[in-house]
Amino acid sequence: MKCILVVNAGSSSVKFQVFALEGAQGLEQLIRGEMDGIGSRPRLRARDKHDTTLVDQTFSLESVPDVATAMRAAGSWLLDNQKLEIAAVGHRVVHGGPKYDRPTIIDDQILEDLARYAPLAPLHQPNNLTPIRAIRSRFPQLPQVACFDTAFHRGHDSVADHFAIPESLYAEGVRRYGFHGLSYEYIAGRLRELFPHIASGRVIVAHLGSGASMCALLNGRSVESTMGFTALDGLPMGTRSGQIDPGVILYLMAEKGMNPEAVQKFLYSECGLKGLSGISNDVRDLQSSREPGAILAIDYFVHRIGLHAGMLAAAVGGLDAFVFTAGIGERSPTMRARIAEKLAWLGAELDPAANASGKTVISPEGSRVTLCVLPTNEELMIARHSLALLTAAAGQDRRRSA
């Protein structure tokens, strides 16, 4: 059975899904799994489409010390035990830079280009590229597709993707890109399927997880995003600062003697909810704590979401719907309720019972702003893009041979 393997690699985990090339839409999910705990307690887990456990195996730290070895271990299990015929591998790549604005089949030049963008996404880009290199070394003829988190936002107007700096820097690629684009693209598609009257209007989607951002959609198109040049901007995140006065960076360097590498590590790894609370980067831990730092961190997170919602509503001239997605957005009724309070001035009302029971629509019928909860699926989006590129390439081959 021919399949598409989708890989979503992070700093301490490699998530994967396998889609068969069949079914009503050409894709059927067969397997979903991940190798997590890389660098500490590596563990490979996977389930089939019926949610039956296929593997739950722990590894020694020595045998799986990094993302590359994790990918080899997961790949060996897939090939040896599942007898799959992989037709292509699709990858989430966080940063496409100024050059790549759509999914692309990877070659040596593209891989070299993408490596240059690592300073723009230091937590993500190197880990995104590691599985690509590992697969290319073992299966050089296997097509691999890069799907970019920045691509969905590339249609922004000039006023939205410029900084107030000389144009020469914009030409070099110093601009506002926006991220979590695969998630927003999937949600935009789900809105068209489920609520076409909402999808054609003014929508804010909140991708709230350890990495968090928000995006304003107008008729399904990204108009504005809270993230910019890097994945540091906008909302506070698990360990990332979010929006910060550039003067703070100058202060850290001039008065605290921090070099660029130290500042980068600080802003990506020691700030956000972790920095504010002094306890944890996990919202679940913070919500269960009565420590003043934990309370401050949650209050700040909600406050900044409310502020950015106002900015995004201004970008599209009002608000018809607000969509919660990703880990916090999908699973925390308490956080949804607190955020909904911040949206009341825009006309949003919450149905507490619908929110508590995890309904798709969590606002009452009379609410001027519809509140929705939609699970995201970046991996399915990657599989769709990969299939489309494979189909196009096969069509070109047929035309050349005709």
CA 155 from centroid of its chain's CA atoms? 18
> In this structure, is the dihedral angle defined by the CA atoms of residues 102, 106, 109 and 114, taken in order, positive or negative?
positive
Q: Please tell me which residue in 56, 101, 149, 157 is annotated as part of the active site.
A: 149
> In this structure, is the dihedral angle defined by the CA atoms of residues 19, 22, 24 and 26, taken in order, positive or negative?
positive
Rounded CA separation 189/186 (Å): 5
Residue 234, Ramachandran bin (φ over 0: left; ψ between -120 and 50: alpha; else beta): left
Query: What does residue 289 show for φ and ψ, rounded to 5 degrees?
Result: -105, 145
Count Cβ atoms within 10 A of the Cβ of residue 159 and give its class: 0-12 exposed, 13-18 middle, 19 or more buried. exposed
Question: What type of residue is 8?
Answer: N
The H or E element spanning position 388 is: helix 378-401
Task: Give the residue ranges of DSSP H helices in 200-347.
Answer: 246-254, 260-269, 272-277, 283-287, 292-316, 326-331, 333-342
Task: Show Cβ contacts of residue 358 under 8 Å, excluding neighbours closer than 6 positions.
Answer: 333, 373
Answer yes or no: 108 catalytic.
no
Rounded CA separation 42/400 (Å): 47
361 strand-pairing partners? 372
Rounded CA separation 55/287 (Å): 32
Using DSSP, state whether 369 is helix, strand or coil. strand
Q: Are 263 and 249 in contact (CB under 8 A)?
A: yes
Active site residues: 149
